[in-house]
Amino acid sequence: MAETREGTVCAVFGREAAVFTAKAQQRCPIRRNTGQVVCGDRVRLEQTAAGQWVIAAVLPRRNTLSRTLPHGARKILAANIDRILITVDGTALPAPQADPDSVAMACSQLLDSYLTAAALANIPATILINKMDLIPDGQDTTLATVLAGYTAAGYTIGYVSARTHRGTTDLVARLAGQRGIFVGQSGAGKSSLIQAVTAIPDIRIGTLGDQGHGRHTTTTTTLYQLPNGAEIIDSPGIREFGLWHVPVTDLRHGYPEFAPLAQRCRFHDCLHDQEPGCAVRDAVDNGRLNRQRWLSYRCLVEQLRAPRRR
């Protein structure tokens, strides 16, 4: 019988993967009948007659974080995650006095898609407001106002800076013994923040393009191990997190503040949009529920109702 050992996938390169084992980190081919292998997978390695270690099987996953690509295929970003760390460029958040629809669009298109995916996968999520070193003194309160809906919904919000290391020590301490995946829009500073947290100097960091979009410099989802037992996954920056594989009726799970009110809606399958007798919409109209969050939810509902991309 071939010798076996287990390991954790830290990066995938086509039909090969880098794997952490108790012995070392090694690059192993993936057998053709193994199925899809992703970052964070626990795998079983087997040694061939020639002495090479190959990935022979993927062990059962606790969870996965996945999105729908524009052509309709579903892509798994990573597996076996303890916390999703959604990184947001604090300088790109709108002013609280901006038009509510504009605020909802700016905050929701990526952030709320991630929060919904996290809720559906039963993975806790933390929102990280990055680049705080570029926020003028005294503007923390303004940011808190813009993000009030997320605070009211029970989400943890961390204010961090990759350049000054603000909040990074506490972040590492909270991740001790856990695996967190950093996700977010290109240009939000994920790789810079991970470099600050891990002190790994060769993480690729890009700059903003001419149109204000970050370049996708992180092209491979990669796992890093820290001395305190934390594991951090860096994922490629994206401009859109597709949820087209999610039934529209499941979107409400990404808005936990809706749950207590939804029980009082006239219809049990109420989408909290235009239905009569909707307790959620009544709460928004009466100021008891954050309007920006509800507008954000409606944006996602409309996305899923529209014809799916091909």
**Lowest-pLDDT range of 47-61, 65-79, 108-122, 212-226:** 212-226
The reported pLDDT for the residue numbered 205 is 43
Q: Fold match between 83-234 and 248-305? A: no
The reported pLDDT for the residue numbered 102 is 55
* pLDDT tens track for 107-129: 566 888 899 999 999 999 999 99
* pLDDT tens track for 226-254: 999 999 999 887 777 888 888 888 988 88
Asked whether residue 162 carries a pLDDT value surpassing 70, the answer given is yes
d(CA 6, CA 137): 50
Tell me which CATH code domain 83-234 carries. Answer: 3.40.50.300
The reported pLDDT for the residue numbered 22 is 86
Asked whether residue 185 carries a pLDDT value surpassing 90, the answer given is no
User: Hey, what are 144's tokens?
Assistant: 């808190």
| pLDDT averaged over every residue in the chain | 85
**Lowest-pLDDT range of 133-142, 261-270, 282-291:** 133-142
Instruction: With cut-offs at 50, 70 and 90, classify the pLDDT of residue 276.
Output: very high
Please say whether the beta carbons of 232 and 297 come within 8 A. no
**Lowest-pLDDT range of 29-33, 56-60, 72-76, 139-143:** 139-143
Q: Which CATH architecture has domain 248-305?
A: Orthogonal Bundle (1.10)
Tell me which CATH code domain 4-58 carries. Answer: 2.40.50.140
Q: Within its chain, how far is the Cα of 178 from the centroid? A: 15
Asked whether residue 257 carries a pLDDT value surpassing 90, the answer given is yes
Task: State pTM to two decimals.
Answer: 0.86
Asked whether residue 212 carries a pLDDT value surpassing 70, the answer given is no
DSSP-assigned states of every residue in 251-270: GGGG-GGGHHHHTTSSSTT-
Domain segments of the chain as ranges:
4-58, 83-234, 248-305
**For 132, phi and psi rounded to 5 degrees?**
-65, -20
Find the DSSP H helices in the chain: 100-120, 140-146, 148-152, 168-174, 190-198, 259-262, 279-285, 291-305
**For 290, phi and psi rounded to 5 degrees?**
-65, 120
Asked whether residue 136 carries a pLDDT value surpassing 90, the answer given is no
* pLDDT tens track for 13-23: 999 999 999 87
The reported pLDDT for the residue numbered 304 is 86
